[in-house]
């Protein structure tokens, strides 16, 4: 998972969901001076779109054949990756009960037909600006400034929600702790500026291997990193950890005070299937024990358990 980066309003993407192509085109035209727009013609298409690319906001027609707007909204709010997308309904129903249904489904706002262009523009603009401010705050709260990875605040914030999801789905959690071998000696030899550049390179490799939506890499402290791998058993965790350790070795970053003559990683990995029985500290402690064993066995390797 990636930390949101700040962007300008006109770079925001709004997904318009409406089975009436003329109505969808009208909304896109109204919003063309505010943001970028794409359209889909059904709730099913909207879900598929959001699974591949999360838009900044949805404008949804309330009444559509098959899955309607309310059901679409509820479905998106169930998923972690889409639950925070602002949703604005467009409805021809002026009844109070219809408005209540919009709020109960989790929508952020609604506008009524016939559309007033200025009203729709201002509603969309206000919700997008709020989202951009929230994304910027999240970046400041959860981002490690050197590497761009998540920090420990994110881990503490995210783990309870992630563990609940894994319990509901009866899925394991893989966790790996990586540590740069002989990093103090690296800093002593090459200086802290080179040390920071080394950590940035390591972070880049770790990010490359955390490509699924719910994967996350955290700079846990100094030269130590934690990788969260939901729905990953022990064999998968071992394979990913081994590939990362091998790739760092292949980067061949010179380290004259290492017996390997290059920068290397050690890793301790675990996969926990009964996540409800383990606190975050317990899972990390077990991975840390394995990391310690990897160090004792000569470093530049993975120990699992």
Looking at residue 252, its pLDDT comes to 97
On whether both 16 and 127 belong to a single domain, the answer is: yes
On whether both 170 and 116 belong to a single domain, the answer is: no
- pLDDT at residue 274 tops 70: yes
On whether both 274 and 180 belong to a single domain, the answer is: yes
CATH (domain of 268): 3.30.70.270
- pLDDT at residue 213 tops 80: no
Q: Answer with the one of 139, 167, 200 that is the final residue of a domain.
A: 139
Range in 20-29, 148-157, 262-271, 290-299 with the lowest mean pLDDT: 148-157
On whether both 171 and 103 belong to a single domain, the answer is: no
On whether both 67 and 26 belong to a single domain, the answer is: yes
In this structure, is residue 115 part of a structural domain?
A: yes
Under DSSP, is residue 116 helix (H, G, I), strand (E, B) or coil? Answer: coil
pTM score > 0.75 for this model? no
Q: What is the pLDDT of residues 7-55, one digit of tens each?
A: 789 999 999 999 999 999 999 999 999 999 999 999 999 999 998 899 9
Q: What is the pLDDT of residues 186-206, one digit of tens each?
A: 999 999 999 999 999 999 999
Give the percent of the chain with pLDDT over 70: 96
On whether both 252 and 220 belong to a single domain, the answer is: yes
Sign of CA dihedral 208, 145, 280, 54: negative
Query: Is 236 within 8 Å of 270 (Cβ atoms)?
Result: no
On whether both 129 and 168 belong to a single domain, the answer is: no
Query: Is 71 within 8 Å of 43 (Cβ atoms)?
Result: yes
Looking at residue 177, its pLDDT comes to 98
What span, in angstroms and rounded, lies between the C-alpha atoms of 124 and 104? 20
Per the structure, the complete domain to which residue 262 belongs is given by 152-304
Looking at residue 136, its pLDDT comes to 73
Looking at residue 176, its pLDDT comes to 98
Range in 54-63, 96-105, 267-276 with the lowest mean pLDDT: 96-105
- pLDDT at residue 3 tops 90: no
On whether both 262 and 190 belong to a single domain, the answer is: yes
Most confident of 90-99, 133-142, 145-154, 241-250: 241-250
Looking at residue 6, its pLDDT comes to 61
Query: What average pLDDT is seen over the chain?
Result: 91
- pLDDT at residue 2 tops 60: no
Range in 135-139, 151-155, 292-296 with the lowest mean pLDDT: 135-139
On whether both 204 and 157 belong to a single domain, the answer is: yes
Strands 216-221 and 224-230: antiparallel
On whether both 97 and 237 belong to a single domain, the answer is: no
On whether both 268 and 190 belong to a single domain, the answer is: yes
In this structure, is residue 2 part of a structural domain?
A: no
Looking at residue 260, its pLDDT comes to 97
Catalytically annotated residues = 223
CATH (domain of 130): 3.40.50.2300
Confidence of residue 270 (pLDDT cuts 50, 70, 90): very high
Strand order in the sheet with 265-272: 216-221, 224-230, 173-180, 265-272, 302-304
Q: Give the residue-averaged pLDDT of 122-141.
A: 84
> What is the number of domains present in the chain?
2
Q: How many CB atoms within 10 Å of residue 140?
A: 11
Max Cα-Cα span within the chain: 75
On whether both 166 and 296 belong to a single domain, the answer is: yes
Q: Answer with the one of 107, 139, 171 that is the final residue of a domain.
A: 139
């Amino acid at each position: 998972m990636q930390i949101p980066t700040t962007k300008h309003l006109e770079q925001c993407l709004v997904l318009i969901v409406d089975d009436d192509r003329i109505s969808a085109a009208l909304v896109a035209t109204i919003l063309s001076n505010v943001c970028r727009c794409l359209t889909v013609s059904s709730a099913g298409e909207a879900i598929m779109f959001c699974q591949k690319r999360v838009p900044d906001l949805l404008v949804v027609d309330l009444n559509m054949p098959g899955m309607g707007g309310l059901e679409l909204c509820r479905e998106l709010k169930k998923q972690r990756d889409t639950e925070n997308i602002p949703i604005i309904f467009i409805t021809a129903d002026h009844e109070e009960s219809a408005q209540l249904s919009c709020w109960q489904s989790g929508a952020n706002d609604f506008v009524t037909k016939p559309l007033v262009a200025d009203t729709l523009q201002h509603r969309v603009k206000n919700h997008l600006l709020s989202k951009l401010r929230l994304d910027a705050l999240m970046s400041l709260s959860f981002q490690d400034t050197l590497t761009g990875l998540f920090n420990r605040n994110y881990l503490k914030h995210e783990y309870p929600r992630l563990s609940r999801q894994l319990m509901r789905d009866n899925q394991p959690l893989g966790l790996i702790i990586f540590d740069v071998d002989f990093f103090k000696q690296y800093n002593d030899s090459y200086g802290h500026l080179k040390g920071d550049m080394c950590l940035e390179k390591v972070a880049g490799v770790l990010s490359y291997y955390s490509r699924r939506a719910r994967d996350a890499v955290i700079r846990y402290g100094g030269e130590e990193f934690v990788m969260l791998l939901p729905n990953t058993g022990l064999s998968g965790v071992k394979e990913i950890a081994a590939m990362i350790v091998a790739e760092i070795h292949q980067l061949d970053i010179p380290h004259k005070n290492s017996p390997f003559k290059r920068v290397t990683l050690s890793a301790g990995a675990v996969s926990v299937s009964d996540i409800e029985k383990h606190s975050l500290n317990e899972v990390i402690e077990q991975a840390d024990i394995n990391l310690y064993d990897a160090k004792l066995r000569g470093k530049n390797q993975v120990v699992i358990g």
